[in-house]
Amino acid sequence: MLIASWNINGVKARLDALTAWLTERRPDIACLQEIKSVDEGFPRKAIEDLGYHVETHGQKGFNGVALLSLKAPEEGSVLRGLPGDESDEQSRYIEALWQTEAGPLRVASIYLPNGNPLGTEKFDYKLAWMARLEKHAAGLLEREERLILAGDYNVIPEPTDAAKPDVWVNDALFQPESRGALRRLIHLGLVDALREVDESEAVYTFWDYQAGAWQKNNGIRIDHLLLSPEARIALRSVGIDKHVRGWEKPSDHVPIIAELAE
């Protein structure tokens, strides 16, 4: 079973790339972030024609998350929006439950706030959002299900996760508070799937469009798959589809994929 996460950076602009990748990789569940589309405007037919069920939590012009799956999730299991703040109107979280031969599998697609610039309410919002995610994740872990919290976390965990870490010192993605919040989340009992199988350097999921970052491999790792202990037991491999960044009209992110035993 393949579970993938990809910040698509505008689903309509990247639809050809998305359908090509879905055809090539055929993930069982694909978590999308930054779809930049309202629910009714999401190009679902092109994806449904490939055999996928579509669940979205959209927003006009920015943000937005989606779950694409070969099998529909359990009826009534889709959660749109991160609990803990009813005033939060930003579409950054969607979660659903699937029944599989190996038991229940819960997957969330997460687009964590960027938080820049520092010293503004945007950074405060990022940290508050991460605190809400930590609380929600703690509750999910009590279910003792296979759980995958997948998405663009907008956090560089360690200096080895950036080609040029010094460049990010004054960026919200690399602040001690952001990194500490991610560590607290993981320390609930989650594991960083990629680092479970690959401790090498220069493993990135994002390359900026500017200054030839892709050509120079000046990237960062900010897209993560966090697994519960039950999902960790089933983990077989993790890969990054780096080649997708070289396609025509690419997203600045690439997909990250975990293979779980059925």
Instruction: State the Cα–Cα distance between residues 193 and 240, nearest whole angstrom.
Output: 12
Residue owning tokens 């090498």: 200
Q: Which of 57, 93, 152, 223 is catalytic?
A: 152
Q: 217 among the known binding-site residues?
A: no
The question of whether 111 is a catalytic residue gets the answer: yes
Q: 218 among the known binding-site residues?
A: no
* Residue 97 half-sphere exposure toward CB, CA atoms < 13 A: 12
Q: 7 among the known binding-site residues?
A: yes
Q: 39 among the known binding-site residues?
A: no
Q: 252 among the known binding-site residues?
A: yes
Strand pairing of 146-152 and 103-111?
parallel
The question of whether 152 is a catalytic residue gets the answer: yes
Q: Which of 111, 153, 171, 223 is catalytic?
A: 111
Looking at this protein, which amino acid is placed at residue 203?
Answer: V
Instruction: State the Cα–Cα distance between residues 106 and 95, nearest whole angstrom.
Output: 7
The question of whether 204 is a catalytic residue gets the answer: no
Q: Crossing angle of helices 176-186/121-141, nearest 10°?
A: 10
Q: 253 among the known binding-site residues?
A: yes
Q: Which of 57, 136, 224, 253 is catalytic?
A: 253
Check: CB of residue 147 under 8 Å from CB of residue 106: yes
Q: Tell me the three state secondary structure of residue 1.
A: coil
Q: Tell me the three state secondary structure of residue 168.
A: helix
Catalytic residues: 111, 152, 253
Q: Provide the annotated binding site for Mg(2+).
A: 7, 34, 152, 154, 252-253
Q: Provide the annotated binding site.
A: 7, 34, 152, 154, 252-253
